[in-house]
Amino acid sequence: MGNTKLYRFLSWIRNKYVQDLSRIYSPVQFREYGQNVTIESDVLINMTNRVIIKDHACIHSGTLINSMGGLYIGKNTGIGYNCTIFTTQHRYRNAKTIPFDNVVELKPVIIRDYVWLGAGVIIMPGIELGEGSIIGMGSVVTKNVLLWQLSWKIQRKSSYTEVKNTIISARRRGDFSLLECVLDLIEQYNEGE
């Protein structure tokens, strides 16, 4: 009995190690890879050869990227924790079976320069995020976002509070990049409801 538990444990450790090694990315794997790019651990990108990442981009841990349809990430872009980016979808219009058939539609996602994605953002296939746009945490992006636009969807009141507290704690740490602008826009949005 004792040997079985030890074997299972060692097998689990080995599998975890192999899984972690498969998630270490090298610049040569990508179609284009800029300088000072940060890809944290536990990021899963299924087809790195279809990804272009420009200078100073950062992808935080827990992010899942389905890049079969192609992905462009502009310079100085931040992708928050646990984001999901899809570049493919099943054909559901004029499909031969219900709800969809076996045809996969490739729709590239373009994330321009200076874009900030909050934690838990989901980007659907074929979306373009304009330069400088900010996507609030937990948002599902189903339409293109214009240049320097804030996209925010408050699904529940605590979502607003969580984001505001996150921003305030960043301010206390001395991280003032874009925080004033975001806080002002959130306040304007909140007053508009």
From residue 100, alpha-carbon distances to 93, 94, 103 in Å are: 8, 9, 8
The pLDDT of residue 49 is above 90: yes
**Which residues, 6 or more positions from 139, have their beta carbon under 8 angstroms from its beta carbon?**
118, 121, 122, 151, 152, 153
Binned at pLDDT 50, 70 and 90, residue 157 comes out as very low
Q: Are 151 and 145 in contact (CB under 8 A)?
A: yes
Binned at pLDDT 50, 70 and 90, residue 168 comes out as low
The pLDDT > 90 percentage for the chain reads: 42
**pLDDT tens across 84-138, in order?**
999 998 776 666 766 667 778 899 999 999 999 999 999 999 999 988 888 988 8
**What does DSSP say about strands 104-106 and 88-90: parallel, antiparallel, or unpaired?**
antiparallel
Considering the entire predicted model, what is its pTM? Answer: 0.69
Cα diameter, the chain: 64
Q: Are 118 and 135 in contact (CB under 8 A)?
A: yes
